């Protein structure tokens, strides 16, 4: 079938071309090849995604890899984030090449690792075999570690070491969880071929050993939660985001964290089914979510570095997604919607932060003044994206956060709603305190050299912003259907229709 | 045959205690290498009733990787970084061994809690493996030297491997080999990172990696 080959292609193109990037003659050709590779993948990927929503789940590699509603939705987000980030990387490193801060060797390494990172995340999303899923996540850790320290310095080495050690231990925990899942399925008497297949476990969730599966989920939640940046396992995240070059920070926040959340989402219905749908794992998710929001709110108060501030904001948003999943029903729908919104918005924020950092020569919030005057395009991008991030209407993040709040109030979980709002409120006030002087403050600039911008850079700002604005005001029926299909897989099969009716 | 298995497990626990109490990195690596070979043999012992080519393959791969490849990579890092000893760990060596005893106790209790059904003569396996997991974690947390932390990660993987070998026979060989290779790559990546850190800082003390805070 043509869509099976599309699925194979979207996995193999970045994997194969990633190696090819290492032998190209110049920095520009390497970066160019990387962009072509990502866009080529996107074409194949789009065919596969459309096929999933028209014909249903696609299975390949004798059921070890598949694409269903949930993974197709996430894969769509991955493609958007990677396409935007690749174009941005071209501009960002183009500027560094112009200044002579980026060598051919670094460019080749970057381009190669970038494509391989794309392939590894794709593998995670495609895997039906939970062992392969783990291998994919571990591969993303090892590949992206070197992306953090493309520019070798003391700080970037420190960030990379923390990232490798903390995430490797996390991955070891996740592996332990995966093992326990396999053990809990002993009653099913599966053969070696399908003992870890998600589809099999999902269909037979009721026959798994509940005690073992609870132990397994705790290991999995701690393990994948480390990678997702859920507090209190988040320590690597601010350092890595701060030290990585901005295109890398953008894929970290924009999709790497969501990849790990996706793994947790996959396990949720299996665990719920095995424990008799008493909301055991939902309570855990809610707890971790609220704690992450609280930790982010506390740490965001005293940030001095713009990228570090954005990193803590990512912890907050991952917390919000986790909270939504924990609330169930409408919350799951909202959490999935929030994943898309956050990926789009955070990608844009890191783009803007990176370019403003290059233009102003610093990431220190206290020294970054008058961004809008220095670069109207990126200044607007930075200001509006942070405004959207903190949940200002009418951007779509407001809508998804509102739906999560509604889910909490519908469940009469007023304490949860209160903590959620309090966290959001603190972040809102602090972020405004940072962003207003950053955009307008400072003395009128003396004639500074105008920032060198590529023509297409304004598209990088306005495409995501327009999308966020449109999604905030109106949800297209196809997207709603996709979200609903994905939410049903995680077990949020409640009726959303009245809630969606509330959307303006 | 159960007694051979028990001896293997006792050796595993003893090697954990040795790792906690030794200060010379080279000796620690030798112990880790011994532990790796032990696990390779253990793979065969645990499945001696049903030895298949698959079991042989897994045993051979883990014997070679854990017993020779990982230790060799670590030794190379030592040479490059000319690091000999863990200078002053957060937790002293005798205290570490005491902690090891406590971890063994905790592992015995945890082993009781997990409802794993094992063949006869294997009752020591889960506590021993859990002790190894905890020892690995302890080394990562309580040692300052980047090499010791890398060693801790290998020990942690060893423990999980032991649990996997006795509790799951059904996982397909492809996944198992993939996982072993992933561990190998992790060690290589850590080795390269150690090399970079050493070149940037002239030492491997991770407690001096402290410029990123807040």
Query: Hey, where are the domains in chain A?
Result: 1-128, 139-277, 279-444+453-504
A129 within 8 A of B113, measured Cβ to Cβ: no
Nearest to A168 among B146, B153, B167 (CB): B153
Smallest CA–CA separation between A312 and chain B, in Å? 10
- pLDDT for A501 equals 44
- pLDDT for A420 equals 96
Which chain B positions have a beta carbon within 8 Å of A180's beta carbon? 167
- pLDDT for A286 equals 96
Smallest CA–CA separation between B24 and chain A, in Å? 22
**Nearest-angstrom CA–CA distance, A344 and A325:** 20
A163 within 8 A of B210, measured Cβ to Cβ: no
Nearest to B171 among A159, A182, A302 (CB): A182
Which chain B positions have a beta carbon within 8 Å of A212's beta carbon? 114-116
CA neighbor of B143 nearest in space, from B202, B187, B99, B196:
B99
**Nearest-angstrom CA–CA distance, B180 and B161:** 9
Which residue in the block uniquely carries the two structure tokens 């953008």?
A: A250
Residue A422's contacts (CB-CB under 8 Å, 6 or more residues apart) are A297
- pLDDT for B78 equals 81
User: What confidence category does residue B6 fall into, taking pLDDT thresholds of 50, 70 and 90?
Assistant: confident
- pLDDT for A454 equals 79
What is the SS3 assignment for A277?
A: coil
- pLDDT for B144 equals 81
B214/A179 Cβ within 8 A: no
Residues 253-272 of A with CB under 8 A from B: none
A142/B209 Cβ within 8 A: no
B160/A135 Cβ within 8 A: no
Smallest CA–CA separation between A377 and chain B, in Å? 31
Q: Which of B161, B163, B169, B212 best probes binding to A when mutated, by most A CB atoms within 10 angstroms?
A: B212
Mean pLDDT, residues B137-155 = 87
- pLDDT for B86 equals 61
**Chain B residue closest in CA terms to A132:** B175
- pLDDT for A312 equals 95
CA neighbor of B142 nearest in space, from B132, B152, B133:
B152
Mean pLDDT, residues B42-51 = 83
Low-confidence spans in chain A with pLDDT less than 50: 494-504
Determine what percent of chain B is predicted with pLDDT higher than 70: 88
B160/A176 Cβ within 8 A: yes
What is the SS3 assignment for A301?
A: coil
pLDDT greater at residue A107 or residue B145? A107
Smallest CA–CA separation between B127 and chain A, in Å? 15
**Chain A residue closest in CA terms to B161:** A176
A190/B193 Cβ within 8 A: no
B171/A196 Cβ within 8 A: yes
B19 within 8 A of B139, measured Cβ to Cβ: yes
Smallest CA–CA separation between A199 and chain B, in Å? 16
A172/B157 Cβ within 8 A: yes
Which chain A positions have a beta carbon within 8 Å of B116's beta carbon? 183, 212
Mean pLDDT, residues B94-104 = 92
Which chain A positions have a beta carbon within 8 Å of B201's beta carbon? 154, 157
Angle at A321 between CA A477 and CA A196, to 5 degrees: 95
Residues 131-150 of A with CB under 8 A from B: 131-132, 134-135, 138-139, 141-142, 145-146, 149
- pLDDT for A495 equals 42
Residues 162-181 of A with CB under 8 A from B: 162, 164-165, 168-169, 172, 175-176, 179-180
Chain B CB within 8 Å of residue A109 CB: no
Question: What is the DSSP code string of A319-376?
Answer: HHHHHHHHH-THHHHHHHHHHHHHHHHHHHHHHHHHHHHHHHS--BTTT---HHHH-H
- pLDDT for A191 equals 78
Q: Which of A134, A137, A161 best probes binding to B when mutated, by most B CB atoms within 10 angstroms?
A: A161
How far is residue A130 from each of residues A33, A181, A264, A473, measured CA to CA in Å?
32, 9, 11, 38
What is the SS3 assignment for B24?
A: strand
Question: What is the DSSP code string of A434-494?
Answer: HHHHHHH-SSPPP-PPPPP--TTHHHHHHHHHHHHHHHHH---HHHHHHHHHHHHHHT--S
- Assembly ipTM: 0.90
How many Cβ contacts (< 8 angstroms) between chains A and B? 125
User: What confidence category does residue B58 fall into, taking pLDDT thresholds of 50, 70 and 90?
Assistant: confident
User: What confidence category does residue B120 fall into, taking pLDDT thresholds of 50, 70 and 90?
Assistant: low
- pLDDT for A499 equals 46
Residues 51-80 of A with CB under 8 A from B: none
- pLDDT for A42 equals 96
Task: Kindly state the tokens that stand for A23.
Answer: 């032998």
Smallest CA–CA separation between A195 and chain B, in Å? 6
How far is residue A415 from each of residues A326, A331, A399, A409, measured CA to CA in Å?
14, 16, 21, 9
- Segments in chain B forming alpha helices (H): 2-21, 25-46, 53-64, 70-81, 93-113, 125-142, 146-167, 173-201
CA neighbor of B117 nearest in space, from A209, A318, A394:
A209
Rounded (10°) CA dihedral A420, A424, A425, A429: 160
Q: How many CB atoms lie within 10 A of CB B214?
A: 11
Chain B CB within 8 Å of residue A243 CB: yes
Instruction: Give the model confidence (pLDDT) of B62-86 as tens digits.
Output: 899 889 988 888 888 888 777 666 6
pLDDT greater at residue A437 or residue B189? A437
pLDDT greater at residue B46 or residue B214? B46
A155/B211 Cβ within 8 A: yes
Which chain B positions have a beta carbon within 8 Å of A209's beta carbon? 115
Instruction: Give the model confidence (pLDDT) of A246-299 as tens digits.
Output: 999 999 999 999 999 999 999 999 999 998 888 899 999 999 999 999 999 999
Q: How many CB atoms lie within 10 A of CB A59?
A: 16
B116/A183 Cβ within 8 A: yes
B200/A161 Cβ within 8 A: no
- pLDDT for A92 equals 92
């Amino acid at each position: 079938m043509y869509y099976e080959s599309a699925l194979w292609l979207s996995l193999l193109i970045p994997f194969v071309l990633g190696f090819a990037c290492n032998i190209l003659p110049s920095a520009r050709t390497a970066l160019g090849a990387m962009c072509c590779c990502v866009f080529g993948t996107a074409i194949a990927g789009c065919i596969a995604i459309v096929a999933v929503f028209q014909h249903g789940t696609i299975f390949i590699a004798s059921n070890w890899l598949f694409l269903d509603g949930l993974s197709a939705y996430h894969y769509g987000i991955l493609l958007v984030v990677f396409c935007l980030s690749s174009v941005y990387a071209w501009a960002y490193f183009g500027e560094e090449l112009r200044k002579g801060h980026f060598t051919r060797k670094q460019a080749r390494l970057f381009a190669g690792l970038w494509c391989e990172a794309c392939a590894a995340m794709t593998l995670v999303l495609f895997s039906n075999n939970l062992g392969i899923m783990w291998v994919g996540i571990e591969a993303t850790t090892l590949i992206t570690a070197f992306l953090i320290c493309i520019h070798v310095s003391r700080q970037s080495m420190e960030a990379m070491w923390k990232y490798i050690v903390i995430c490797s231990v996390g991955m070891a925990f996740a592996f332990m969880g995966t093992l326990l899942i396999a053990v809990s399925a002993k009653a099913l008497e599966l053969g070696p071929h399908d003992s870890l297949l998600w589809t099999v476990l999902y269909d037979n969730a009721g026959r798994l050993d509940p005690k073992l599966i609870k132990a397994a989920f705790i290991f999995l939640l701690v393990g994948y939660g480390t990678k997702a940046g859920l507090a209190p396992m988040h320590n690597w995240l601010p350092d890595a985001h701060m030290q990585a070059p901005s295109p890398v920070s953008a894929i970290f926040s924009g999709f790497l964290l969501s990849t790990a959340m996706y793994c947790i989402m996959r396990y949720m219905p299996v665990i719920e089914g095995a424990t008799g749908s008493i909301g055991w794992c939902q309570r855990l998710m809610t707890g971790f979510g609220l704690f992450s929001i609280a930790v982010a709110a506390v740490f965001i108060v005293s940030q001095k570095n713009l990228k570090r501030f954005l990193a803590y904001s990512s912890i907050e948003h991952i917390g919000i997604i986790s909270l939504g999943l924990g609330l169930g029903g409408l919350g799951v729908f909202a959490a999935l919607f929030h994943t898309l919104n956050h990926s789009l918005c955070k990608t844009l924020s890191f783009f803007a932060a990176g370019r403003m950092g290059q233009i102003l020569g610093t990431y220190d919030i206290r020294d970054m003044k008058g961004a809008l005057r220095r670069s109207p395009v990126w200044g607007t991008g930075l200001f509006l994206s942070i405004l959207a991030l903190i949940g200002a209407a009418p951007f779509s993040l407001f809508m998804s956060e509102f739906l999560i709040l509604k889910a909490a109030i519908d469940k009469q979980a007023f304490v949860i709603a209160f903590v959620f709002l309090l966290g959001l409120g603190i972040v809102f006030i602090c972020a405004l305190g940072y962003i207003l002087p950053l955009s307008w403050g400072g003395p009128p600039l003396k004639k500074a050299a105008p920032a060198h911008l590529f023509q297409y850079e304004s598209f990088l700002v306005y495409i995501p912003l327009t999308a966020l604005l449109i999604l905030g005001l109106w949800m297209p029926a196809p997207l709603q259907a996709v979200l609903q299909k994905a939410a049903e897989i995680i077990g949020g099969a409640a009726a959303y229709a009245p809630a969606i009716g509330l959307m303006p | 045959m159960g007694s051979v298995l028990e001896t293997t497990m006792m050796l595993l626990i003893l090697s954990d205690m040795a790792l906690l109490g030794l200060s010379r990195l080279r000796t620690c690596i030798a112990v880790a290498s011994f532990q790796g070979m032990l696990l390779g043999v253990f793979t065969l012992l645990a499945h001696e009733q049903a030895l298949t080519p698959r079991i042989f393959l897994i045993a051979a791969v883990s014997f070679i990787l854990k017993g020779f490849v990982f230790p060799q990579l670590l030794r190379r890092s030592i040479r490059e970084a000319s690091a000999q000893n863990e200078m002053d760990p957060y937790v002293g060596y005798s205290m570490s061994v005491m902690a090891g005893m406590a971890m063994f106790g905790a592992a015995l209790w945890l082993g009781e809690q997990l409802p794993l059904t094992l063949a006869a003569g294997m009752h020591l396996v889960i506590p021993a493996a859990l002790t190894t997991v905890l020892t690995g974690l302890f080394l990562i947390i309580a040692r300052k030297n980047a090499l010791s932390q890398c060693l801790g990660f290998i020990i942690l993987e060893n423990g999980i491997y032991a649990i996997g070998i006795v509790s799951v026979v059904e996982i397909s060989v492809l996944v198992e080999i993939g996982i072993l290779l992933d561990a190998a790559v992790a060690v290589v990546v850590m080795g390269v990172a150690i090399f970079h850190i050493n070149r940037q800082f002239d030492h491997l003390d991770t407690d001096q990696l402290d410029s990123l805070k807040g």
